[in-house]
Copies of this chain bind each other. A is one copy, B any other.
Protein backbone atom coordinates (compact mmCIF):
# COMPACT_ATOMS: atom_id res chain seq x y z
CA UNK A 1 0.00 0.00 0.00
CA UNK A 2 1.49 3.28 -1.04
CA UNK A 3 -0.20 5.63 1.42
CA UNK A 4 0.36 9.37 1.39
CA UNK A 5 -1.25 12.40 2.88
CA UNK A 6 0.97 15.42 2.62
CA UNK A 7 2.31 16.24 6.11
CA UNK A 8 0.98 19.78 5.83
CA UNK A 9 0.92 20.51 9.54
CA UNK A 10 4.58 19.68 9.92
CA UNK A 11 5.37 21.58 6.76
CA UNK A 12 3.66 24.67 8.14
CA UNK A 13 5.55 24.16 11.36
CA UNK A 14 8.97 24.20 9.73
CA UNK A 15 7.94 26.97 7.36
CA UNK A 16 6.36 29.42 9.80
CA UNK A 17 7.36 28.48 13.31
CA UNK A 18 10.59 26.60 13.65
CA UNK A 19 12.91 29.21 12.20
CA UNK A 20 10.97 32.38 13.04
CA UNK A 21 14.03 33.70 14.89
CA UNK A 22 16.61 32.49 12.36
CA UNK A 23 19.25 34.77 10.90
CA UNK A 24 18.40 33.63 7.38
CA UNK A 25 15.25 35.66 7.04
CA UNK A 26 15.05 36.48 3.34
CA UNK A 27 11.45 35.33 3.42
CA UNK A 28 10.72 38.85 4.67
CA UNK A 29 12.66 40.50 1.87
CA UNK A 30 11.31 42.65 -0.91
CA UNK A 31 11.51 39.76 -3.36
CA UNK A 32 8.69 38.03 -1.52
CA UNK A 33 6.81 41.09 -0.31
CA UNK A 34 3.71 40.29 -2.27
CA UNK A 35 3.32 36.85 -0.71
CA UNK A 36 1.61 36.07 2.57
CA UNK A 37 1.79 33.04 4.87
CA UNK A 38 -1.76 32.23 3.83
CA UNK A 39 -0.74 32.16 0.22
CA UNK A 40 2.08 29.74 1.02
CA UNK A 41 -0.34 27.51 2.88
CA UNK A 42 -2.71 27.57 -0.08
CA UNK A 43 0.15 26.64 -2.42
CA UNK A 44 1.08 23.72 -0.18
CA UNK A 45 -2.51 22.54 -0.08
CA UNK A 46 -2.81 22.68 -3.85
CA UNK A 47 0.49 20.86 -4.24
CA UNK A 48 -0.74 18.21 -1.84
CA UNK A 49 -3.86 17.71 -3.91
CA UNK A 50 -1.91 17.50 -7.15
CA UNK A 51 0.60 15.05 -5.65
CA UNK A 52 -2.00 12.83 -4.07
CA UNK A 53 -4.49 12.86 -6.92
CA UNK A 54 -2.34 13.07 -10.03
CA UNK A 55 1.13 11.71 -9.22
CA UNK A 56 0.57 9.02 -6.60
CA UNK A 57 -1.80 6.94 -8.74
CA UNK A 58 0.95 6.67 -11.38
CA UNK A 59 3.75 5.69 -9.03
CA UNK A 60 3.33 1.91 -8.90
CA UNK A 61 2.04 1.58 -12.44
CA UNK A 62 4.94 3.65 -13.75
CA UNK A 63 7.36 1.35 -11.96
CA UNK A 64 5.74 -1.71 -13.46
CA UNK A 65 5.47 -0.38 -16.98
CA UNK A 66 8.74 1.53 -17.15
CA UNK A 67 9.98 3.53 -20.09
CA UNK A 68 10.49 2.11 -23.54
CA UNK A 69 12.65 3.08 -26.45
CA UNK A 70 10.82 2.73 -29.74
CA UNK A 71 12.39 3.81 -33.02
CA UNK A 72 14.75 6.14 -31.25
CA UNK A 73 12.05 7.79 -29.16
CA UNK A 74 11.50 7.30 -25.44
CA UNK A 75 7.94 6.65 -24.28
CA UNK A 76 7.08 7.37 -20.68
CA UNK A 77 4.58 5.09 -18.90
CA UNK A 78 0.85 5.49 -19.37
CA UNK A 79 -0.56 8.58 -17.76
CA UNK A 80 2.71 10.47 -17.49
CA UNK A 81 2.00 12.78 -20.42
CA UNK A 82 -1.33 13.83 -19.00
CA UNK A 83 0.12 14.20 -15.52
CA UNK A 84 2.91 16.37 -16.87
CA UNK A 85 0.39 18.55 -18.70
CA UNK A 86 -1.53 19.09 -15.46
CA UNK A 87 1.68 19.72 -13.56
CA UNK A 88 2.82 22.30 -16.04
CA UNK A 89 -0.55 24.00 -16.38
CA UNK A 90 -0.75 24.23 -12.61
CA UNK A 91 2.41 26.30 -12.71
CA UNK A 92 4.34 23.83 -10.59
CA UNK A 93 7.30 23.71 -12.95
CA UNK A 94 7.89 27.42 -12.55
CA UNK A 95 7.22 27.80 -8.85
CA UNK A 96 10.55 29.16 -7.71
CA UNK A 97 11.82 30.52 -11.01
CA UNK A 98 12.44 34.18 -11.64
CA UNK A 99 9.29 36.07 -12.75
CA UNK A 100 11.48 37.62 -15.44
CA UNK A 101 11.26 34.29 -17.26
CA UNK A 102 7.69 33.57 -16.40
CA UNK A 103 8.35 31.95 -13.06
CA UNK A 104 6.25 32.54 -9.99
CA UNK A 105 9.15 33.67 -7.88
CA UNK A 106 8.20 31.81 -4.72
CA UNK A 107 10.90 31.23 -2.13
CA UNK A 108 12.83 27.99 -1.97
CA UNK A 109 11.41 27.44 1.50
CA UNK A 110 8.04 26.78 -0.12
CA UNK A 111 9.38 25.26 -3.31
CA UNK A 112 11.37 22.57 -1.48
CA UNK A 113 8.28 21.51 0.42
CA UNK A 114 6.44 21.14 -2.87
CA UNK A 115 9.38 19.16 -4.26
CA UNK A 116 9.15 16.89 -1.25
CA UNK A 117 5.51 16.12 -2.05
CA UNK A 118 6.29 15.44 -5.70
CA UNK A 119 9.07 13.07 -4.74
CA UNK A 120 7.01 11.32 -2.09
CA UNK A 121 4.30 10.51 -4.55
CA UNK A 122 6.28 9.88 -7.70
CA UNK A 123 10.04 10.14 -7.62
CA UNK A 124 10.42 9.10 -11.23
CA UNK A 125 8.03 11.81 -12.37
CA UNK A 126 9.76 14.41 -10.23
CA UNK A 127 12.98 13.96 -12.14
CA UNK A 128 11.59 15.38 -15.38
CA UNK A 129 10.77 18.89 -14.08
CA UNK A 130 13.65 18.60 -11.61
CA UNK A 131 16.27 18.27 -14.30
CA UNK A 132 14.73 21.13 -16.25
CA UNK A 133 14.91 23.32 -13.17
CA UNK A 134 18.57 22.47 -12.69
CA UNK A 135 19.35 23.26 -16.30
CA UNK A 136 17.64 26.65 -16.13
CA UNK A 137 19.65 27.47 -13.02
CA UNK A 138 22.92 26.98 -14.88
CA UNK A 139 21.66 28.73 -17.99
CA UNK A 140 20.39 31.71 -16.01
CA UNK A 141 23.71 32.14 -14.22
CA UNK A 142 26.09 31.54 -17.08
CA UNK A 143 24.29 31.74 -20.41
CA UNK A 144 24.48 34.65 -22.83
CA UNK A 145 21.55 36.99 -23.04
CA UNK A 146 20.61 35.58 -26.45
CA UNK A 147 20.58 32.04 -25.18
CA UNK A 148 18.55 33.00 -22.16
CA UNK A 149 15.99 34.85 -24.25
CA UNK A 150 15.68 31.91 -26.59
CA UNK A 151 15.42 29.15 -24.02
CA UNK A 152 14.58 30.35 -20.54
CA UNK A 153 10.89 31.17 -21.01
CA UNK A 154 10.06 27.83 -22.58
CA UNK A 155 12.12 25.86 -20.11
CA UNK A 156 10.81 27.72 -17.08
CA UNK A 157 7.23 27.14 -18.19
CA UNK A 158 8.01 23.46 -18.68
CA UNK A 159 7.10 23.59 -22.35
CA UNK A 160 10.62 22.39 -23.06
CA UNK A 161 12.60 20.13 -20.78
CA UNK A 162 16.27 20.18 -19.80
CA UNK A 163 18.98 17.67 -19.00
CA UNK A 164 22.52 17.64 -17.76
CA UNK A 165 24.92 15.52 -19.81
CA UNK A 166 28.06 14.90 -17.79
CA UNK A 167 28.83 11.23 -17.37
CA UNK A 168 30.61 9.10 -19.95
CA UNK A 169 31.09 5.38 -19.56
CA UNK A 170 34.65 5.74 -18.32
CA UNK A 171 34.08 8.84 -16.21
CA UNK A 172 31.53 9.77 -13.62
CA UNK A 173 33.08 11.32 -10.54
CA UNK A 174 36.27 12.17 -12.42
CA UNK A 175 35.01 14.45 -15.16
CA UNK A 176 38.54 15.40 -16.08
CA UNK A 177 38.64 12.24 -18.17
CA UNK A 178 35.78 13.15 -20.45
CA UNK A 179 36.21 12.89 -24.20
CA UNK A 180 33.18 14.51 -25.83
CA UNK A 181 34.49 17.05 -28.31
CA UNK A 182 33.31 20.53 -29.28
CA UNK A 183 34.45 22.15 -32.52
CA UNK A 184 33.87 25.88 -33.00
CA UNK A 185 31.99 26.95 -36.13
CA UNK A 186 32.21 30.22 -38.01
CA UNK A 187 28.76 31.33 -36.89
CA UNK A 188 29.79 31.19 -33.24
CA UNK A 189 28.12 27.87 -32.61
CA UNK A 190 29.85 24.56 -31.95
CA UNK A 191 29.61 21.01 -33.24
CA UNK A 192 29.43 18.48 -30.42
CA UNK A 193 30.47 14.85 -30.86
CA UNK A 194 30.62 12.14 -28.24
CA UNK A 195 28.70 9.66 -26.12
CA UNK A 196 27.11 10.22 -22.74
CA UNK A 197 25.53 7.74 -20.37
CA UNK A 198 23.17 7.87 -17.39
CA UNK A 199 21.34 10.91 -18.76
CA UNK A 200 18.20 11.27 -16.67
CA UNK A 201 15.25 12.40 -18.78
CA UNK A 202 17.63 12.32 -21.75
CA UNK A 203 14.64 11.84 -23.98
CA UNK A 204 10.90 11.46 -23.41
CA UNK A 205 7.51 12.30 -24.79
CA UNK A 206 6.46 14.87 -22.20
CA UNK A 207 7.66 17.95 -24.05
CA UNK A 208 8.17 19.12 -27.62
CA UNK A 209 11.86 19.72 -27.13
CA UNK A 210 14.66 18.63 -24.82
CA UNK A 211 17.51 21.02 -24.14
CA UNK A 212 20.75 19.32 -23.22
CA UNK A 213 23.49 20.99 -21.23
CA UNK A 214 26.56 19.08 -22.30
CA UNK A 215 30.07 19.01 -20.93
CA UNK A 216 32.63 18.76 -23.72
CA UNK A 217 36.19 19.57 -24.52
CA UNK A 218 37.52 22.10 -27.08
CA UNK A 219 40.35 20.90 -29.28
CA UNK A 220 42.91 23.17 -27.69
CA UNK A 221 41.64 22.75 -24.14
CA UNK A 222 43.97 21.97 -21.26
CA UNK A 223 43.85 18.45 -19.91
CA UNK A 224 41.64 17.49 -16.99
CA UNK A 225 38.84 19.47 -15.40
CA UNK A 226 40.36 22.78 -16.45
CA UNK A 227 39.62 22.00 -20.07
CA UNK A 228 35.90 21.39 -19.87
CA UNK A 229 33.29 23.67 -21.37
CA UNK A 230 29.53 23.67 -21.15
CA UNK A 231 27.26 23.70 -24.19
CA UNK A 232 23.58 24.00 -24.79
CA UNK A 233 22.45 21.43 -27.36
CA UNK A 234 18.76 21.22 -28.21
CA UNK A 235 17.14 18.05 -29.47
CA UNK A 236 15.33 20.17 -32.08
CA UNK A 237 16.87 23.39 -33.29
CA UNK A 238 14.41 26.22 -32.63
CA UNK A 239 13.21 28.34 -35.51
CA UNK A 240 13.54 32.09 -35.29
CA UNK A 241 9.95 32.38 -34.15
CA UNK A 242 10.66 30.05 -31.25
CA UNK A 243 8.84 27.09 -32.74
CA UNK A 244 10.50 23.70 -32.93
CA UNK A 245 12.61 23.34 -36.05
CA UNK A 246 14.81 20.61 -37.56
CA UNK A 247 16.20 17.67 -35.65
CA UNK A 248 19.69 18.18 -34.24
CA UNK A 249 22.41 15.50 -34.24
CA UNK A 250 21.41 14.05 -30.87
CA UNK A 251 20.16 10.49 -30.58
CA UNK A 252 19.14 8.20 -27.75
CA UNK A 253 21.23 5.12 -28.34
CA UNK A 254 19.74 3.13 -25.48
CA UNK A 255 17.95 3.26 -22.16
CA UNK A 256 19.21 1.57 -19.02
CA UNK A 257 17.51 -1.25 -17.17
CA UNK A 258 17.76 -0.10 -13.62
CA UNK A 259 17.08 -1.37 -10.13
CA UNK A 260 14.34 1.22 -9.72
CA UNK A 261 13.23 4.68 -10.80
CA UNK A 262 11.89 2.86 -13.80
CA UNK A 263 9.49 5.51 -14.99
CA UNK A 264 12.37 7.92 -15.35
CA UNK A 265 14.21 7.34 -18.61
CA UNK A 266 17.96 6.98 -18.08
CA UNK A 267 19.45 7.39 -21.51
CA UNK A 268 22.62 6.75 -23.40
CA UNK A 269 23.00 9.74 -25.71
CA UNK A 270 24.98 10.05 -28.91
CA UNK A 271 26.01 13.48 -30.07
CA UNK A 272 27.08 13.40 -33.68
CA UNK A 273 28.12 16.81 -34.97
CA UNK A 274 25.22 18.20 -32.98
CA UNK A 275 24.86 21.95 -33.09
CA UNK A 276 25.32 23.69 -29.76
CA UNK A 277 26.17 26.99 -28.13
CA UNK A 278 28.63 27.62 -25.37
CA UNK A 279 27.28 28.46 -21.91
CA UNK A 280 29.72 30.69 -20.09
CA UNK A 281 33.41 30.93 -20.84
CA UNK A 282 35.46 28.30 -22.65
CA UNK A 283 37.13 25.88 -20.22
CA UNK A 284 34.98 27.13 -17.37
CA UNK A 285 32.29 24.57 -17.92
CA UNK A 286 32.79 22.72 -14.72
CA UNK A 287 32.00 25.67 -12.53
CA UNK A 288 28.94 26.44 -14.65
CA UNK A 289 27.87 22.85 -14.29
CA UNK A 290 28.41 23.03 -10.55
CA UNK A 291 25.85 25.82 -10.35
CA UNK A 292 23.37 23.29 -11.61
CA UNK A 293 24.85 20.42 -9.67
CA UNK A 294 24.66 22.19 -6.33
CA UNK A 295 21.03 23.04 -6.89
CA UNK A 296 20.43 19.44 -7.83
CA UNK A 297 22.26 18.10 -4.81
CA UNK A 298 19.93 19.85 -2.41
CA UNK A 299 17.01 18.63 -4.49
CA UNK A 300 18.28 15.05 -4.37
CA UNK A 301 18.34 15.33 -0.60
CA UNK A 302 14.71 16.44 -0.79
CA UNK A 303 14.00 13.43 -3.01
CA UNK A 304 15.29 11.27 -0.19
CA UNK A 305 13.08 13.05 2.30
CA UNK A 306 10.11 12.52 -0.01
CA UNK A 307 10.62 8.76 -0.17
CA UNK A 308 11.27 8.66 3.57
CA UNK A 309 7.90 10.30 4.27
CA UNK A 310 5.81 7.99 2.09
CA UNK A 311 7.70 4.99 3.45
CA UNK A 312 6.82 6.13 6.95
CA UNK A 313 3.17 6.68 6.18
CA UNK A 314 2.81 3.42 4.29
CA UNK A 315 4.34 1.52 7.19
CA UNK A 316 2.07 3.23 9.72
CA UNK A 317 -1.01 2.34 7.69
CA UNK A 318 0.00 -1.31 7.58
CA UNK A 319 1.03 -1.44 11.24
CA UNK A 320 -2.42 -0.18 12.21
CA UNK A 321 -4.33 -2.76 10.21
CA UNK A 322 -2.15 -5.87 10.27
CA UNK A 323 -3.24 -8.11 13.16
CA UNK A 324 -0.53 -10.32 14.54
CA UNK A 325 0.32 -11.38 18.08
CA UNK A 326 -0.56 -9.64 21.31
CA UNK A 327 0.98 -6.69 23.09
CA UNK A 328 3.73 -7.74 25.51
CA UNK A 329 1.80 -6.08 28.31
CA UNK A 330 -1.47 -7.90 27.55
CA UNK A 331 -4.05 -7.78 24.74
CA UNK A 332 -4.91 -4.29 23.53
CA UNK A 333 -7.76 -5.33 21.27
CA UNK A 334 -9.35 -8.39 22.85
CA UNK A 335 -12.26 -7.91 20.44
CA UNK A 336 -9.98 -8.85 17.55
CA UNK A 337 -8.23 -12.17 16.85
CA UNK A 338 -4.90 -10.40 17.42
CA UNK A 339 -3.61 -6.90 18.15
CA UNK A 340 -2.50 -4.60 15.35
CA UNK A 341 1.27 -4.80 15.12
CA UNK A 342 1.63 -1.14 16.05
CA UNK A 343 1.39 -2.29 19.68
CA UNK A 344 4.74 -4.08 19.48
CA UNK A 345 7.71 -2.07 20.72
CA UNK A 346 9.98 -3.24 17.93
CA UNK A 347 7.42 -2.13 15.34
CA UNK A 348 7.13 1.20 17.10
CA UNK A 349 10.91 1.48 17.09
CA UNK A 350 10.75 1.14 13.31
CA UNK A 351 7.92 3.62 12.87
CA UNK A 352 9.45 6.17 15.20
CA UNK A 353 12.80 5.88 13.46
CA UNK A 354 11.25 6.63 10.06
CA UNK A 355 9.22 9.44 11.57
CA UNK A 356 12.20 11.04 13.25
CA UNK A 357 14.24 10.80 10.07
CA UNK A 358 11.49 12.45 8.06
CA UNK A 359 10.79 15.25 10.52
CA UNK A 360 14.46 15.84 11.17
CA UNK A 361 15.32 16.02 7.49
CA UNK A 362 12.36 18.25 6.78
CA UNK A 363 13.56 20.70 9.40
CA UNK A 364 17.19 20.65 8.28
CA UNK A 365 16.06 20.94 4.66
CA UNK A 366 14.00 23.97 5.52
CA UNK A 367 16.95 25.53 7.30
CA UNK A 368 19.06 25.06 4.18
CA UNK A 369 16.26 26.40 1.99
CA UNK A 370 16.12 29.59 4.04
CA UNK A 371 19.82 30.02 3.38
CA UNK A 372 19.24 29.41 -0.35
CA UNK A 373 16.74 32.27 -0.37
CA UNK A 374 18.96 34.48 1.77
CA UNK A 375 21.96 33.84 -0.43
CA UNK A 376 19.98 35.44 -3.23
CA UNK A 377 17.75 37.95 -1.49
CA UNK A 378 19.34 38.61 1.90
CA UNK A 379 19.35 42.26 2.89
CA UNK A 380 23.07 42.86 3.33
CA UNK A 381 26.14 41.53 1.52
CA UNK A 382 27.36 40.12 4.83
CA UNK A 383 24.18 38.18 5.34
CA UNK A 384 24.23 36.93 1.77
CA UNK A 385 27.82 35.82 2.22
CA UNK A 386 26.99 34.04 5.45
CA UNK A 387 24.10 32.29 3.76
CA UNK A 388 26.38 31.27 0.92
CA UNK A 389 28.80 29.76 3.41
CA UNK A 390 26.02 27.87 5.07
CA UNK A 391 24.65 26.56 1.78
CA UNK A 392 28.13 25.41 0.81
CA UNK A 393 28.44 23.51 4.07
CA UNK A 394 24.98 22.01 4.08
CA UNK A 395 24.70 21.00 0.42
CA UNK A 396 26.67 17.76 0.79
CA UNK A 397 25.04 17.08 4.14
CA UNK A 398 21.51 17.48 2.82
CA UNK A 399 22.33 15.34 -0.20
CA UNK A 400 24.06 12.48 1.58
CA UNK A 401 22.38 12.42 4.98
CA UNK A 402 18.83 12.65 3.65
CA UNK A 403 19.36 9.98 1.03
CA UNK A 404 21.16 7.57 3.36
CA UNK A 405 18.35 7.92 5.85
CA UNK A 406 15.80 7.57 3.06
CA UNK A 407 17.19 4.21 2.01
CA UNK A 408 17.23 3.16 5.60
CA UNK A 409 13.63 4.29 6.05
CA UNK A 410 12.49 2.55 2.87
CA UNK A 411 14.09 -0.66 4.10
CA UNK A 412 12.47 -0.26 7.50
CA UNK A 413 9.13 0.15 5.75
CA UNK A 414 9.62 -3.16 3.93
CA UNK A 415 10.62 -4.76 7.23
CA UNK A 416 7.41 -3.51 8.85
CA UNK A 417 5.46 -5.31 6.15
CA UNK A 418 7.38 -8.54 6.64
CA UNK A 419 7.05 -10.96 3.74
CA UNK A 420 4.32 -8.82 2.24
CA UNK A 421 6.83 -6.01 1.87
CA UNK A 422 8.97 -8.15 -0.43
CA UNK A 423 6.10 -8.69 -2.85
CA UNK A 424 5.68 -6.21 -5.66
CA UNK A 425 1.94 -5.84 -5.33
CA UNK A 426 2.19 -4.13 -1.93
CA UNK A 427 4.21 -1.37 -3.52
CA UNK A 428 6.71 -0.73 -0.75
CA UNK A 429 9.76 -2.56 -2.12
CA UNK A 430 9.60 0.06 -4.86
CA UNK A 431 10.60 2.66 -2.28
CA UNK A 432 13.81 0.75 -1.61
CA UNK A 433 14.62 0.44 -5.29
CA UNK A 434 13.75 4.05 -6.06
CA UNK A 435 15.54 5.55 -3.06
CA UNK A 436 18.72 3.61 -3.78
CA UNK A 437 19.80 5.83 -6.67
CA UNK A 438 19.56 9.01 -4.61
CA UNK A 439 22.64 7.90 -2.67
CA UNK A 440 24.53 7.67 -5.94
CA UNK A 441 23.61 10.27 -8.50
CA UNK A 442 24.71 13.90 -8.51
CA UNK A 443 27.88 12.71 -6.78
CA UNK A 444 27.89 9.57 -4.65
CA UNK A 445 27.44 10.08 -0.95
CA UNK A 446 31.10 9.25 -0.49
CA UNK A 447 31.93 12.13 -2.81
CA UNK A 448 29.62 14.39 -0.78
CA UNK A 449 31.48 13.43 2.36
CA UNK A 450 34.81 14.22 0.73
CA UNK A 451 33.41 17.52 -0.47
CA UNK A 452 32.41 18.31 3.10
CA UNK A 453 35.62 17.27 4.79
CA UNK A 454 38.15 17.97 2.07
CA UNK A 455 36.72 21.18 0.69
CA UNK A 456 34.02 22.76 2.81
CA UNK A 457 35.73 22.40 6.19
CA UNK A 458 39.07 23.53 4.89
CA UNK A 459 37.96 26.42 2.69
CA UNK A 460 38.48 29.96 3.96
CA UNK A 461 39.92 28.88 7.29
CA UNK A 462 36.76 27.04 8.26
CA UNK A 463 34.48 30.01 7.59
CA UNK A 464 31.77 27.76 6.14
CA UNK A 465 31.34 26.12 9.51
CA UNK A 466 30.69 29.30 11.44
CA UNK A 467 27.00 29.95 10.84
CA UNK A 468 26.32 26.35 11.75
CA UNK A 469 28.53 26.19 14.81
CA UNK A 470 27.25 29.52 16.07
CA UNK A 471 23.64 28.53 15.70
CA UNK A 472 24.11 25.28 17.59
CA UNK A 473 26.21 26.75 20.36
CA UNK A 474 23.85 29.71 20.79
CA UNK A 475 20.88 27.41 21.12
CA UNK A 476 22.64 25.24 23.67
CA UNK A 477 23.63 28.28 25.68
CA UNK A 478 20.15 29.78 25.51
CA UNK A 479 18.58 26.54 26.62
CA UNK A 480 21.03 26.08 29.46
CA UNK A 481 20.36 29.68 30.47
CA UNK A 482 16.61 29.21 30.41
CA UNK A 483 17.03 26.32 32.82
CA UNK A 484 14.18 24.38 31.26
CA UNK A 485 14.20 21.17 33.25
CA UNK A 486 12.05 19.21 30.84
CA UNK A 487 14.60 19.70 28.07
CA UNK A 488 17.75 19.68 30.18
CA UNK A 489 18.68 16.13 29.23
CA UNK A 490 18.15 16.82 25.54
CA UNK A 491 20.15 20.03 25.75
CA UNK A 492 22.96 18.13 27.43
CA UNK A 493 22.82 15.41 24.79
CA UNK A 494 23.09 17.95 22.00
CA UNK A 495 25.89 19.76 23.79
CA UNK A 496 27.79 16.53 24.14
CA UNK A 497 27.35 15.54 20.50
CA UNK A 498 28.26 19.04 19.43
CA UNK A 499 31.36 18.97 21.60
CA UNK A 500 32.35 15.66 20.03
CA UNK A 501 31.79 17.16 16.59
CA UNK A 502 33.99 20.16 17.36
CA UNK A 503 36.71 17.96 18.74
CA UNK A 504 36.48 15.69 15.72
CA UNK A 505 36.62 18.66 13.37
CA UNK A 506 39.86 19.81 14.96
CA UNK A 507 41.31 16.30 15.01
CA UNK A 508 40.51 15.62 11.37
CA UNK A 509 41.86 19.02 10.29
CA UNK A 510 45.09 18.48 12.22
CA UNK A 511 45.66 14.94 10.98
CA UNK A 512 44.75 15.80 7.41
CA UNK A 513 47.58 18.30 7.22
CA UNK A 514 50.00 15.42 7.60
CA UNK A 515 48.08 12.80 5.68
CA UNK A 516 45.28 13.44 3.22
CA UNK A 517 43.98 9.94 3.77
CA UNK A 518 42.97 10.90 7.30
CA UNK A 519 40.34 13.24 5.91
CA UNK A 520 39.17 10.69 3.39
CA UNK A 521 38.89 7.88 5.89
CA UNK A 522 36.94 10.09 8.30
CA UNK A 523 34.65 11.67 5.74
CA UNK A 524 31.56 9.48 5.74
CA UNK A 525 31.39 9.16 9.51
CA UNK A 526 32.02 12.88 9.86
CA UNK A 527 29.19 13.82 7.55
CA UNK A 528 26.82 11.61 9.51
CA UNK A 529 27.95 13.18 12.79
CA UNK A 530 27.43 16.68 11.49
CA UNK A 531 24.07 15.69 10.07
CA UNK A 532 22.96 14.23 13.39
CA UNK A 533 23.98 17.38 15.21
CA UNK A 534 22.05 19.45 12.67
CA UNK A 535 18.99 17.29 13.22
CA UNK A 536 19.49 17.53 16.96
CA UNK A 537 19.59 21.29 16.68
CA UNK A 538 16.25 21.39 14.88
CA UNK A 539 14.70 18.91 17.31
CA UNK A 540 15.79 20.89 20.33
CA UNK A 541 14.46 24.09 18.77
CA UNK A 542 11.24 22.28 17.96
CA UNK A 543 10.96 20.90 21.48
CA UNK A 544 11.41 24.36 22.94
CA UNK A 545 8.60 25.74 20.82
CA UNK A 546 6.43 22.72 21.52
CA UNK A 547 6.94 22.99 25.27
CA UNK A 548 5.69 26.57 25.20
CA UNK A 549 2.73 25.67 22.99
CA UNK A 550 1.70 22.75 25.19
CA UNK A 551 1.80 25.07 28.19
CA UNK A 552 -0.42 27.56 26.32
CA UNK A 553 -2.79 24.71 25.44
CA UNK A 554 -3.66 26.42 22.19
CA UNK A 555 -5.96 23.84 20.65
CA UNK A 556 -3.26 22.19 18.56
CA UNK A 557 -1.71 20.67 21.60
CA UNK A 558 -1.69 17.16 20.11
CA UNK A 559 0.64 18.24 17.34
CA UNK A 560 3.10 19.76 19.80
CA UNK A 561 2.88 16.86 22.22
CA UNK A 562 3.75 14.51 19.37
CA UNK A 563 6.65 16.77 18.44
CA UNK A 564 8.01 16.51 21.97
CA UNK A 565 7.85 12.72 21.81
CA UNK A 566 9.50 12.64 18.43
CA UNK A 567 12.29 14.88 19.71
CA UNK A 568 12.75 12.62 22.75
CA UNK A 569 13.04 9.58 20.55
CA UNK A 570 15.67 11.32 18.47
CA UNK A 571 17.81 12.15 21.47
CA UNK A 572 17.23 8.76 23.12
CA UNK A 573 17.67 6.40 20.22
CA UNK A 574 19.18 8.11 17.18
CA UNK A 575 21.70 10.68 18.38
CA UNK A 576 23.84 7.97 20.06
CA UNK A 577 24.94 7.04 16.52
CA UNK A 578 27.10 10.17 16.67
CA UNK A 579 29.16 8.60 19.44
CA UNK A 580 29.91 5.60 17.25
CA UNK A 581 31.08 7.97 14.53
CA UNK A 582 33.20 9.90 16.98
CA UNK A 583 34.96 6.75 18.18
CA UNK A 584 35.44 5.40 14.67
CA UNK A 585 37.04 8.61 13.43
CA UNK A 586 39.22 8.85 16.51
CA UNK A 587 40.87 5.58 15.57
CA UNK A 588 42.34 7.20 12.47
CA UNK A 589 42.96 6.02 8.94
CA UNK A 590 45.54 3.35 9.79
CA UNK A 591 43.53 0.16 9.51
CA UNK A 592 41.53 1.54 6.59
CA UNK A 593 44.65 2.06 4.51
CA UNK A 594 46.87 -0.77 5.73
CA UNK A 595 45.87 -3.67 3.53
CA UNK A 596 47.94 -4.05 0.36
CA UNK A 597 45.87 -3.76 -2.79
CA UNK A 598 46.53 -7.31 -3.83
CA UNK A 599 45.62 -8.63 -0.39
CA UNK A 600 41.97 -7.67 -0.75
Binding site for B on A (CB under 8 A): 167, 170-174, 176-177, 197-198, 256-260, 316, 319-320, 323-325, 328-329, 337-338, 340, 342-352, 355, 407, 411, 414-415, 418-425, 429, 432-433, 436-437, 439-441, 444-446, 449-450, 454, 515-517, 519-521, 523-524, 558, 561-562, 565-566, 568-569, 571-574, 576-577, 579-584, 587-595, 597, 599-600
Contact = CB atoms under 8 A, between A and B. Distances in A.
The copy count of this chain in the complex is 2
B424 A440 contact: no
A170 B323 contact: yes
B418 A436 contact: no
A594 B573 contact: no
28 contacts: A167-B419, A174-B325, A257-B423, A257-B424, A258-B423, A259-B432, A316-B600, A343-B597, A345-B523, A345-B589, A346-B446, A346-B521, A348-B592, A349-B524, A415-B444, A418-B440, A418-B444, A419-B437, A422-B437, A432-B432, A432-B436, A572-B584, A572-B587, A572-B588, A573-B591, A574-B584, A577-B580, A579-B579
A198 B420 CA distance: 9
Contacts of A167: 419
Nearest to A424: B257
Given A422-B436, A577-B580, A415 B347 contact: no
A524 B346 contact: yes
Contacts of A579: 576, 579-580, 583
Given A348-B521, A415-B439, A569-B592, 15 more contacts: A177-B323, A316-B600, A328-B516, A342-B597, A345-B521, A346-B450, A346-B523, A349-B521, A418-B444, A422-B436, A565-B594, A566-B595, A569-B594, A574-B584, A577-B580
Given A172-B419, A173-B324, A517 B259 contact: no
B521 A593 contact: no
Contacts of A257: 423-425
A597 B450 CA distance: 41
Given A572-B584, A572-B590, A172 B519 contact: no
Contacts of A176: 338
Nearest to A562: B599
A173 B418 contact: yes
A259 B429 contact: yes
B174 A338 contact: yes
B347 A446 contact: yes
Contacts of A516: 328-329
Contacts of A414: 259, 436, 440
B445 A415 contact: yes
Contacts of A197: 419
Max count, chain B CB within 10 A of own CB: residue among A420, A579, A591 = A591
A345 B433 contact: no
Contacts of A581: 576
Contacts of A429: 258-259, 436
Contacts of A571: 587
Contacts of A323: 170, 174, 177
B258 A424 contact: yes
Nearest to A356: B591
Contacts of A421: 440
B600 A329 contact: no
A592 B520 contact: no
Nearest to A589: B345
A592 B342 CA distance: 11
Contact of A565 (B342, B348, B445, B591): B591
B328 A520 contact: yes
Given A419-B167, A425-B257, A523-B346, A600 B355 contact: yes
Contacts of A587: 571-573
Contacts of A577: 580
Given A440-B418, A569-B591, A449 B346 contact: yes
Contacts of A433: 259, 433
Contacts of A580: 576-577, 579-580
Contacts of A346: 446, 449-450, 520-521, 523-524
Contacts of A595: 348, 352, 562, 565-566
B415 A411 contact: no
Contacts of A454: 328
A396 to B, nearest CB: 13
Contacts of A446: 344, 346-347, 350, 415
Interface pairs A-B: 3 shortest CB-CB: A345-B520, A328-B516, A572-B587
Max count, chain B CB within 10 A of own CB: residue among A343, A344, A572 = A572
Contact of A591 (B319, B411, B568): B568
